[in-house]
Amino acid sequence: MNEIVFRTEGEGFLSRVYQMIQSVIDQGHGSVALVFLIGVIFGGIVQYTRVDKFEKIAGFAMLKDTIVPKMLFLAVGLSSIGIYFMVDAGVANLHIKPIILPGLIIGGLLFGVAMAILGKCPGTGPVSMAEGRIDVMIGAIGGLLGGLVFTVFYDDIFKPLQGESLGKTIFPNFFEGNEQLSVLIFGASLVLIAILIPKLEMEDAYEDRDDLR
């Protein structure tokens, strides 16, 4: 059941890259140029703030650097108010992921361990590769193999392990009648938390040295 099945038709690597681009054209979630541009800006922000660095992410795991949680909580706080405002105005839709408790808990545990050791996540890792981090490229090879294992054993192991969906509950569901207020309070609290987290920074012996700039 779990043997690796290769594609047999005469379609090579390039034609599958072409299919990837064609799929983006067909699915109507922005043009190829826009999706690429979103990636460029994402990569640019992550690189320019230097939050892809080991010292920032593993540094947070060691509680010696708080730039990542400060930036993340601020972004989430502002975005939450913005998104619900846009949904109200009819210019955005919610895309909620289901609550699959075993999947979220087991997945979250594995993910946290990996993030502390690698000092990257799947969004910041590619930025680190692009700035020349060879250790992260090795991490990416591990990730590709992890993806392969997940794909091959999905039906037999991983899908049953994820458990049943408990629905797509959102926080405002608990505050019937005061949904908008609950969003505002949530967003404002996260912005406040971002500001209140004490600013700690782990020094990078290479990048923060005197003669670099």
Partner 1 sequence: MTDKKANRLSWWMGGILMSLLLLLTISIFGADRPIGASTYVPYIGGIIFNLDPEHYTYLKSINNSGAWEGVMLLGVLFGGFITSVFITKTFRFSLVPSGWKQYKNNSILSRLLWSFFAGFIMIIGARLAGGCTSGHFLSGMSQLAMSAMVFGGVVMISLIITGKIFYNTKGT
> Could you say which residues in the range 140-159 bind partner 1, by CB under 8 A?
140-152, 154-155, 158-159
Q: Is 35 among the residues that bind partner 1 (CB under 8 A)?
A: yes
> How far is Cα 121 from Cα 56, in angstroms, rounded to an integer?
12
Give the count of alpha carbons within 13 A of 207, CB side only.
11
Taking phi over 0 as left and psi of -120 to 50 as alpha, with beta for the rest, 67 belongs to alpha
CA 21 from chain centre, in angstroms, equals 21
Q: Is 61 among the residues that bind partner 1 (CB under 8 A)?
A: yes
Short-list 149, 123, 153, CA closest to 136? 123
Give whichever of 72 and 188 is closer to partner 1, judged by the CB atom.
72
Site for partner 1 in 9-28 (CB under 8 A): 13, 16-17, 19-21, 23-24, 27-28
Identify the residue among 10, 88, 98, 198 touching partner 1 (CB under 8 A).
98
Site for partner 1 in 171-210 (CB under 8 A): 171-172, 183, 186, 194, 199, 202, 204-210
- DSSP structural state of residue 174: G
Identify the residue among 88, 160, 169, 181 touching partner 1 (CB under 8 A).
169
